[in-house]
Structure 1
C-alpha cells in the first residue's frame, strides 16, 4: 500500500494520484515553539501531521510535507516569542509560503486542498496566503481550486467531549498552551517525547485585557505553559484524536466529496 505522505512517493506515483482527478491534499502548518518543560518544541507540527495522516488513511487524501515554522508566538496564546528555541517567521513570510505552496500544487494539477493549522497564531496569515494565491491563479486562468482551512481543536468542542476532558471545568482554549489537551494528544501519539515528571502544576495564566509590546516576560508562567497539564492522559488523547479525525473526515466528505 502506498504511503499517504507525498514526500514518501516517487514523482510518478504522485503524478498518478493527482491525474486520477479527485485527490485532496492535506497541508499541516505548525511552528517551532516552546511547550513547557514536559513537551518538545515541535508539538505544533507533530499533532496536525498525525491528525492529517489518520484523516488521509480514512479518506484517501494525500499529506503534503508540513510547514515547520509559524508566526511569532503571542504571549496570551503561546507564552510569547521570548523563549529560547521558539523560532518564528514574520507574517509576510507565512503568507508567501502558503501562497507559493498553493501555486505549486495547482501546477501539479491539485484542485482541492485542506490546510490543517496546529499553531493558533498562523490563522489569518494562512487566510491571506490563500486569498493571494487564489487571486493569482484566477489571473493565470486556473479556476476551480478550492481550499479549506481548519484547526483540529475546533472539532473537539462538543460539550460532552469537553466534560470528559475537563471534569473539573474547562478554563478556555486561550490558556490551553501546553495544557491537558495538547499533552493528552502527545501521550496518545508520541509518549516517548513527553516527560510528565518535568510538568509543573500552576494556575491558569491571567493577563490584562490588552496587549503590551515589548511583552512583560514575567506575565507568562515560568515553564511557558499557560495552564497545568495535570489530568492529561493517553485515554483523553485517544478520545480527542477520534473526534477530530471523524469530524475532519466528515468535513472533507461534505465539502470535497472525499471518502468517509
Structure 2
C-alpha cells in the first residue's frame, strides 16, 4: 500500500506529489468527546481518519492531512453535552478560523482541491463557514479553489441501516455512542472498546427546544444517547464498506 499520510512524507517528496496542484488533500475533522464508559474519547477523530486513508488508497493523487482533533462544543441532544470529563471542545469561531488557516496553508503550498471529512455532527456549519471563507479569499487572489464537505454517515443507505438495526432504527439524533459508532470502532480499533462496560439505555427523548445552561438530567449517566450493547465488528465492516465505496466513487467522478 502506498503512503497517503501527508505528515509521514519528507518535504521534497510532498512538493513533488502536489506539483501543479494535481493532488487533492483530505482533511478529517473530529472531536474529543465522551462516548460512554465502553469506548475511548476519540471515535470522532479515528473514524473519519480511517475512512480518509482507505479512500485515498483507492484514488489517484490524494493525500490525507493530519486530522483536526478538537471540534465544536458537544450539544446535549446530539453528543451528550459538556458535562463529562474528557469532552474537550472549542468555540465555533475558533474551529472555523483554525480550519480556514490550515486549508489556506495548503493553498499556499500549491494545493487547490480539498475534501473535509467530518466525524462530529456539531462541526458541520462551522466547516461550511471555513470552506466558504477560503473560496472567497482565494477568488480575490485569482485562485480557483474547490472544497468538498461531507459527513461519512450520509453515505449509509437505508438498506444497510435495516441490517445494522434489525429491531428498528431509532434515528440519527440518538446514535451518539450507540451501535453505529461502537460497531465501527470494534472493526477498526477494537482495543479501544470494552463491551463488558457497555451500558444499555433506552433511546433518549428530548423536548423540542434547547435550554442554556444545559440540563444534565436530559442525558443518561452513561453519556450515550442509545444502547451500544448490540454493536459488533461485523456491523462495523458493513457500514464502513458502504461508506468507503460511496466516498471513493464520488471522489473519482468529481
Structure 2 Cα separation of the partners of residues 83 and 213 of structure 1: 17
Q: Which residue number in structure 1 is paired with residue 200 of structure 2?
A: 201
Task: Mark the runs of 5 or more structure 2 residues left unpaired by the alignment.
Answer: none
Residue correspondence of structure 1 range 135-174 to structure 2 within 5 A: 135-142=136-143, 144-156=144-156, 158-174=157-173
Structure 2 Cα separation of the partners of residues 134 and 82 of structure 1: 36
Q: Does 1:115 align with 2:116?
A: yes
Structure 1 Cα separation of the partners of residues 189 and 219 of structure 2: 26
Q: Which residue number in structure 1 is paired with residue 47 of structure 2?
A: 47
Residue correspondence of structure 1 range 122-133 to structure 2 within 5 A: 122-133=123-134
Q: Which residue number in structure 1 is paired with residue 78 of structure 2?
A: 77
**Of 47-56 and 15-24, the range deviating more from structure 2:** 15-24
1:52-109 deviations in whole A, cap 9, x for unaligned?
Answer: 0100111131100000100000000000012111111011101101111121111111
Residue correspondence of structure 1 range 164-243 to structure 2 within 5 A: 164-243=163-242
Shift of 1:2: 4.4
Q: What secondary structure, in the 3-state scheme, does the structure 2 residue paired with 1:124 have?
A: helix
Shift of 1:141: 2.1
**Of 66-75 and 54-63, the range deviating more from structure 2:** 54-63
Task: Mark the runs of 5 or more structure 1 residues left unpaired by the alignment.
Answer: 256-260
TM-score normalised by L of structure 2? 0.97
Structure 2 Cα separation of the partners of residues 181 and 48 of structure 1: 14
Q: Which residue number in structure 1 is paired with residue 58 of structure 2?
A: 58
**Of 80-89 and 18-27, the range deviating more from structure 2:** 18-27
Shift of 1:254: 2.0
1:11-62 deviations in whole A, cap 9, x for unaligned?
Answer: 1111111005421111000001000000100110000000001001111311
- Off by >3 Å, runs of 4+ in structure 1: none
Provide the aligned length of Structure 1 versus Structure 2: 253
Alignment check: 8 A CA contact 1:31 1:45 kept: yes
Q: Which residue number in structure 2 is paired with residue 258 of structure 1?
A: none
